[in-house]
Structure 1
Amino acid sequence: MYARDCNLLRSVRLIFSKEFFFGSFFLVFILGINLGISYQSYNDFRVVQIILLLSLCLRSLFQQQYSITKIEITFLFYITIGSLFWTNSSFIVVDIMLVYLLFKAFQTLSYRNSITKLIVLSSLTMFLLLPLAIWDYINTGTYLPNWYLFSLNIRVYDSYFLIISTLSVWLYSTKEKYKSLYLLLPFLAFLAVLLDGGRSVTLAYTVFIAIVTICHKSIRLPLIGSYIGSWLSYLLVTYVATLGSSSLRIARESSSGRVDLWVNGLQCWAQNPIIGCGFYQLEQYPHLSAHPHNIFVQVLTETGLIGFSFLGFVLFKIARHISWNIKQNYFVIAALLAVIIDMSLSGVHIYPITQMTLLWLFVFLLKNPVFAHAQYFNQPAKNISKIERYLPGLVVLGLVIIFCYIFINASIFLDDMSSTPPRFWVYGYQLFR
């Protein structure tokens, strides 16, 4: 009786926890719930994302857990100065403020294994219509990812599947219940990625599986079997679907314009290498994407060496406090390497759902108590000076005002807007009416 009451109490606490509140964002995506906030699902998720992140900041502030470090003060000061010099500064400032919100959410969230289980097991429902798409592919010879519930870029799903597969492999390796389901998800996810022609995710996932299988002998054969099974299923389906064709095409051959994007970005950076050039593709290159499909090139181009140094500082802090002993910390190293590969070749960091999924992955990798380095990343921030007691409230108030102004004056509620390469809104080249 006592044990049952304790379990009930833990369940109630979980439901009212900020982590469950955060996890509800994924359920909306997984279940395909159309919120109807705007005419674009991309914008729907953006609005919900900002409301959720601001709510986490406000909750942390009221619980006196929100603090501002000196490096953050320097960062905010740099943004203020940069806004005076960057081209089309409103675009880049809004993106940076969003990244800052994600960073503060990382600080306030704790890792809960139950939330990871909920996300992973719920994600299995996303594949219910995949057999119909495969059957249609076999009959027509053309594969259409119309089984996805939202009309988003398919790379959003591919990068989401990469991260969820990473979490699923972890649950499988720790001998949790439902082991067969945790192994089924990577098989289906990687098969979907192959059908989509997701090359960056394919490379990232291959590197991840290679490291994990080399270092973890007890799950080596099942993981290799799942990986090979995805490839064989993909080749078999593709072969059957193209029986009437003269050749079997199993890979995309185009560069998707990435080289042009990177070269263009670096050329723009060279014009103002110290502080960056801001939103560099708005008018001069309207035919290109609104981001260079490489987070490192994007940060360097848009915020210069100064802005890139802040990213470098974050990476240095992570690299400094995790163990690089591949035998002891192989999973964290493999997952981080996979994420770096994907973020270097795709636009995963642009979309709301993949930003939030990446956030939870970093909470898992850096704050999970089973990892020795979690003690450092879980330690509460300390207020150092008297100013920092009042500054967090001013910063949160400023963030609320900025995003409320954007919501009130945005064009997301208009149905006659043309869709362009996305940034904050799906209308990548327009923030306001």
Structure 2
Amino acid sequence: MSAFSFPVIKPSEVSMTNKDPVDPVALEQSRAIVNKLKDSTTRSSTLMEIGLQFGDIPSSSTTYIIPKSEQKAAYDSLPPDQRRSLDNIHSRVFSFAQAQRSAITDISVPIPGGHAGHRVTACRVAGCYAPGGRYPLPSSVVMTTATAKAAGCDVVVLASPKPAQITKAAAYVSGADVFIGVGGAQAIAAMAYGVPGEGETPSIPPCDIICGPGNKWVTAAKSLVNGHCGIDMLAGPSEVLVICDGSADVPTVAADLIAQCEHDVVARAILVSDDRATIDKVMEETERQLTLLPEPNRATAITAYNSGFAVECKDLEECVRVSDIIAPEHLEVMCKGEEEIARKCRCYGGLFIGRNAAEVLGDYGAGPNHTLPTGGTGRYTGGLSVFSFLGIRTWIKIDDTKGSKEMVEDTVVMARCEGLEGHARAAEKRL
């Protein structure tokens, strides 16, 4: 019996995948941690206690704060090629975020008797989370922290458990103002509610928004604090969808499916094509390449691959419709007329056009953010960006009462239509 299972289904069998990303068991476990920290009168000691309990903090440590000096020492200790790559990735991500920031500006437009407009301002304190599980993810440090900095946030708090040297170095390069070495629900609670300083341990300011990928406890905790502060999204398992035809380079398509599968056993790889022969070739090549992947990546990738599927469509137009229904986190388009097909796609997190635009380049800092919507939420939202940290706040100013007379009279009429006499009288004071 084959170790591989990658079914080929019809477009009619594809359904929307809006699954609840919050695990119910993780939710209750996270609730207990969040409440314990929120209700504590000595949050610093409580955070230290929880961090030690879950192994976030070494037992020999006396603080959960990773000071700037330790971050710099980690950066200085890296081999030259790692420092260079980290600097380059930060530069590309920060430059792209700056370009996004400059794309939206303050406006002022005339209205009867005055002007109205909006101001674009950054939130004061941003909380950024970077996972620290099986693999260190310095790229997530850069993606979140550098983007918040480019937005203009006054303070950026970074949280990551058991940070590796490369993670500390990424924090240094990205300019994190406060770095706490804890993870999970306890990190989210600490950033949401803040932690007063205690002894030589500095305070953690309460964050206006918390962003970044994490495990099921991080996601659950973000759902609990949402409303008290903002969050970027509730992310589920990572996913990639590849649209290809008979012209696609089969080994490249296979390699990209595998790259996604090695993220996690619950990651999803989806192949959508108008050519059954290409589907069969990609499946055969993927399974061949999977056997060559080193452990433990191979076991993880095979499990994830077996939860994926292929969709055989009648033409590329149908491929686009299927992709929009699924709304994948990552969408790769490798076919003839790829730019035209890519323009027709509307629902996705990040788009990668052509053979050379590998999804993994997006993972590691081509410029756009890699924190993207999953589980079908790409139908109504995009990924983390500089805009996640910005507020667009409107204003009006009336300095010509004669010019505003008709607008005020319209307000009086409409207020009385709605039965709001107090509103009507307030407007009449301006006549």
Report if TM-score (shorter chain) is over 0.5: no
Q: Going by fraction, where is strand more abundant, 1 or 2?
A: 2
TM-score by length of 1: 0.26
Which protein, 1 or 2, shows the higher relative CO under an 8 Å CA cutoff with sep ≥ 6?
Answer: 1
Q: Which has the larger radius of gyration?
A: 2
